[in-house]
Amino acid sequence: MFGPIRGPWGESDWTGWWGEEPPFHHPVFVLTRHPHPPIEMQGGTTFYFVDGGIEAALSAAFEAAGDRDVLVGGGAATIREYLRASLIDEMHLAIVPVLLGSGERLLDDLGPSIDDYQCVEHVCSPAVSHVRILRRGRGELSVSR
């Protein structure tokens, strides 16, 4: 999600989709297979590029966050990797009923990790459905609506 670059960074001066001041205002850890120095932006956002896998990125994010929450963002493939490894504690899905065509399946091929998760809340309107999923052993799993 960081940018259109696939493969080695080369001489690219790409700094993301967000202009001079990204909306994050905190460290952001970008999964990559190609090392890149950090990119400091206005407003407190620094992009760190992690080539050591999902566990290394998550560890760095937890260290930077201290006692604050860590959010995992990315495309469906990235979220599936974290779900397969049971590294997501809570997930909030906002599902909007708009048909866009083809794409990646978010909850496809999760393997045995699927048993680690349970839907604990489901709230709908004509415009959106909100689904909250918890990893077993994290919070209350008996809530449902």
Q: Give the residue-averaged pLDDT of 134-138.
A: 85
Task: Name the nearest CA neighbour of 74 among 97, 96, 98, 58.
Answer: 58
Paired with 134 in beta bridges are 90, 118
Q: Is residue 31 part of a domain?
A: yes
Task: Name the nearest CA neighbour of 29 among 7, 59, 9.
Answer: 59
60 and 2 in a common domain: yes
- Structural domain that includes position 108: 88-145
67 and 93 in a common domain: no
Q: What percentage of the chain has pLDDT greater than the value 70?
A: 92
pTM listed for this prediction? 0.83
103 and 45 in a common domain: no
pLDDT interval class at 139 (50, 70, 90): low
**CB within 8 Å of 125: residues ≥ 6 apart:** none
Q: Is residue 79 part of a domain?
A: no
Q: Is residue 80 part of a domain?
A: no
